[in-house]
Structure 1
Amino acid sequence: MDDLATHLKELEEKLFEPSVRASRDMLTALLSRDFREIGSSGRLYTFDVIVPALLTEQRTGTSRGEFFETRRLAEHIALVTYRAIHTDVAGSERRTLRSSIWRLEEDGHWRMLFHQGTVIA
């Protein structure tokens, strides 16, 4: 389980990287075609909506995660929870609680199936 937790943490952290968020190939490698996200706005995003949005995103600042926990829900399904901190160029921080469901797909790669972020004080 430690190897899986480390692997999924690395995959989550890749999604913080601007170069990954700007690459259709990388996003396709990390997100399942069945992907769904409930954003902190409450809006639902699908794979076909989120990928183009990320490709044109003009995000500034840096993001990092902390307090990662992984729970296997089934043989090929895992839940990752953590806190994300985004720091903008002015130094202001935005903190969110994050949860992601990852699925081991038929090609042998783990891909994110579901994600939700909730803003915290």
Structure 2
Amino acid sequence: MSRETDEVGAAIAGELRLMDPGVRMSQSLVRQLLDPHFVEVGASGRRWTYEEMLAVLPDMDGSAEGGPRYEPSEMTGVLLAPGLVHLTYETVIDGHRARRSSLWRRQGAGAEWQMYYHQATPCPRP
């Protein structure tokens, strides 16, 4: 595998972990996956900071074990620079579709990959 393939694969693995209800319910696991400077612009248009996301994530869609789950598709990524990956994909959750974009970064050799930025844009049903 190439370095780009390895780094994109690590970012995809992190993205998929953040969709797992068990991870979403655990602040310690989410802290491992979100960069302390994390910002999100959600599908509603609301801007979320790291602290705000930690506080509300357990109550958001996709967090309950028996509730609706994110169904990702067409996830692709590109290595923008060493330690910086851009992912794009679509999700459906509870009948709502969105196009998504995330930036994942790793600060230093041996550091964990963390989501630095995320944006969701609602899109019409096909």
CA contact (8 A) 1:13 1:64 kept: no
What is the CA–CA distance in structure 1 between the aligned matches of 2:113 and 2:13, rounded to whole Å?
A: 11
Aligned sequence identity (%): 28
- Could you say which residue in structure 2 is the equivalent of 1:68? 75
Q: CA deviation at 1:58?
A: 6.2
The answer for unaligned runs of 5 or more in structure 2 is none
Q: CA deviation at 1:56?
A: 3.5
What is the CA–CA distance in structure 2 between the aligned matches of 1:70 and 1:104, rounded to whole Å?
A: 15
- Could you say which residue in structure 2 is the equivalent of 1:52? 55
The answer for unaligned runs of 5 or more in structure 1 is none
CA contact (8 A) 2:38 2:117 kept: yes
CA contact (8 A) 2:10 2:113 kept: no
CA contact (8 A) 2:41 2:48 kept: yes
One-letter identity of the residue aligned with 1:63? Y
Give TM-score, length-normalised by structure 1.
Answer: 0.88
Q: CA deviation at 1:66?
A: 1.0
Q: How does 1:1-121 map to 2 (within 5 A)?
A: 1-57=4-60, 59=62, 60-86=67-93, 88=94, 93-106=95-108, 108-121=111-124
Alignment RMSD (CA, Å): 1.5
What is the CA–CA distance in structure 1 between the aligned matches of 2:10 and 2:92, rounded to whole Å?
A: 20
Q: How many residues align?
A: 116
What SS does the aligned partner of 1:81 have?
strand
CA contact (8 A) 2:61 2:68 kept: no
Give TM-score, length-normalised by structure 2.
Answer: 0.85
CA deviation profile, 1:80-121 (whole Å, cap 9, x unmatched): 0011111x3xxxx11110000011024611100000000111
What is the CA–CA distance in structure 2 between the aligned matches of 1:27 and 1:42, rounded to whole Å?
A: 22
